[in-house]
Structure 1
Amino acid sequence: MGGSLRAIPTGAVLTGVLVLSVSAVAAPAAYAVETGVVVQKVSVNGGKPIVLGTSQTESFTISVTASDDSGISSKLAFFGIEREVGEDYWSYHGTPTCTASSATTSTCKLTFKLDPGWGVPRNTLAGPWKVIIQLQSKDGDLYNNGGTLTHPVLRRGKLSVDAGPEPVAKGKSLKVTGKLTRANWDRRTYAGYTNQPVKLQFRKAGTSTYRTVKTVRTNSTGNLSTTVTASADGYWRWSFASTSTTSSVNATGDYVDVR
């Protein structure tokens, strides 16, 4: 479901349905200045950044645990996450499902499932998004956080690696190449991420920990290339730490036999 340019009426959007807008969304207003509703816990995507690619189906959940002496009602409940940069605006929003754990406390959840055809925003909107939470108690008190909470929504990063020659003689040079790309939401494709520091890491065969050997910057097309001295059998990978707009990513290790 999509294309809404106004507030979604209570009950019109079910959990698991994406609602997105390219125009401002007017969430129901919180009229009560004082409220007895106490928000105990907020979880957006399990505490991890929301990372969106280009064509695959994505999903994330907003979960809020709240209490009131009269209990929490599902009436006027509204969750959303949104960002506006210049003329670009995007919003995922809808009505959560609230489940009572006691007479006073409920946990309300809304899961967003993005359609792979049109469910990603503009590149300019990667970064911190406002999280909108509105709840109502059974005796009529309204709670609205006013969008004071933010959560990162990032473009997905991808990394490749290739180490060779394979096998290689001990003490000889080993060339390690790769490419760092990231989701281009505007064009629905992946493009090279330029001039970014990426760590080259090695995990010796029989061990479980990677160690950083050196840091290399991507070139003007996102490519990586360096040489190292082969010393032992093991796995080589590139590791990118993330930026304010792009997710962290580790390449799958490439095993090299050293003889």
Structure 2
Amino acid sequence: MRKRAIFAVLAAASALGGFIGPAAYADETVGDIQITDVSVNGSKSITVGLTDKTVTVSVTATDPSGIWDADFHLWRGTDPNNPDDYITPNEDTTPADCVAAGTTTSTCSKTFTFEPDWWLTDADAGTWKVGVDVWADDDSRTQRDAYANTRLQRFSKLTVNAGPEPIAKGKALTVTGKLTRANWDTDVYAGYTAQPVKLQFRKAGTSTYTTIKTVNTSSTGDLRTTTTASADGYWRWNFAGTSTTPAVSATGDYVDVQ
């Protein structure tokens, strides 16, 4: 089963000269079987906060005899036979949940659960590779140790507060906020430091935000700047995201300018 605890045991066995898992992987295809698509979490990044996140991984494959079964593994690192981390599906079943689309093609799926309160650490954020094994009804098979990539990210939050309000036109308006993201080492949301965040304004009666300036977060993830109040409208912070943290925008804070 998936569990860092199990992987740690296997790694310890390796250190003692008796590494027994995960199984050795190498790309191989026997027969006419072909993979046509692999999808992880609906082709979206996997964003995890402080609670468990379960995602579906699926493969679509074709073979003249039909598709019988599929299995998956997710891993991080450069060597599939000695990965930094390695997890297997929640379902320990054969065959997988396969849905036929005709006599030769099927889509097979299994689920994976990312658990921040147990095995995830901040170092796990980033790119994970998807290994796929598929079997056909005539025993044709294909094995790919890194058919696709997926991105695991630490869920982010962004707040905003603009004031004073109401405010006279032309006066200095102070806009504050905070950018935080899930810390899987400590199980809290912590400030994301030294990140560029855009201050944006949307005039009342319009639908488009305009960037006014860019401000870097402090050592605690806080944001603070001043600008000129010119019209009624909404102020927000907008963060573009990084490889380990998804983009996020604060809900606009309305300011009445008199």
User: TM-score, normalised to structure 1's length?
Assistant: 0.83
Cα deviation digits, residues 81-107 of structure 1 (max 9, x gap): 222499952425255411111110101
For 2:215, what is the secondary structure of its paired residue?
Answer: strand
Specify which structure has the higher proportion of helix.
2
Q: Flag the 1:92–1:46 CA change in 2: closer, same or farther, 3 A.
A: same
Query: Aligned pairs, how many?
Result: 241
| 2:99 counterpart of 1:105 | no
The residue that corresponds to 2:157 in the other structure is: 158
Alpha-carbon distance between aligned partners in 1 of 2:30 and 2:88, rounded to the nearest angstrom: 28
1:65 corresponds to = 60
SS in 2 for 1:145: strand
1:89 pairs with one of 85, 93, 103: 85
Displacement of 1:71: 0.4
Deviations 1:189-224 (A, max 9, x none): 111111110111111222222121111001111111
Q: 5 Å matches for 1:46-195?
A: 46-54=42-50, 56-74=51-69, 77-84=70-77, 89-95=85-91, 96-114=96-114, 117-118=117-118, 121-195=120-194
RMSD across aligned positions (CA): 2.5
1:202-221 alignment runs, 5 A limit: 202-221=201-220
> Could you tell me which amino acid in structure 2 is paired with residue 51 of structure 1?
T
**1:203–1:234 Cα contact (<8 Å) kept:** yes
Contact 1:90/1:121 (<8 A) preserved: no
CA 1:90–1:180: 2 relative to 1, 3 Å: farther
Contact residue 31 and residue 142 of structure 1 kept, 8 A:
no
- Work out whether residues 32 and 141 of structure 1, in 8 Å CA contact, stay in contact via their aligned partners in 2: no
How far 1:35 moved relative to its partner? 3.4
**Letter paired with 2:43:** G
Q: Which whole-Å CA distance do the structure 1 matches of 2:45 and 2:27 have between them? A: 31
Deviation at 1:235, TM superposition (A): 1.2
Query: Counterparts of 1:193 and 1:4 in 2: how far apart (Å)?
Result: 26
CA distance in 2, matches of 1:183, 1:258: 36
Q: Displacement of 1:246 after TM fit?
A: 1.3
Give the drift of 1:72. 0.3
Structure 2 partner of 1:225 = 224
Cα distance, 1:112 vs structure 2: 3.1
Could you tell me how far 1:179 is from its partner in structure 2?
A: 0.8
Give, in whole Å, the separation in 2 of the partners of 1:138 and 1:29: 22
How many Å separate the matches in 2 of 1:93 and 1:27? Answer: 15
TM-score w.r.t. structure 2 length? 0.84
Whole-angstrom distance in 2 between the partners of 1:147 and 1:5? 23
- For residues 8-65 of structure 1, the C-alpha deviation after alignment (integer angstroms, 9 at most, x for no partner) is xxxxxxxxxxxxx5556625867954332211222211221111111x3423221221
1:35 aligns with 2:28: no
CA distance 1:114–1:245, change in 2 (3 Å): closer
- SS of the equivalent of 2:42 reads helix
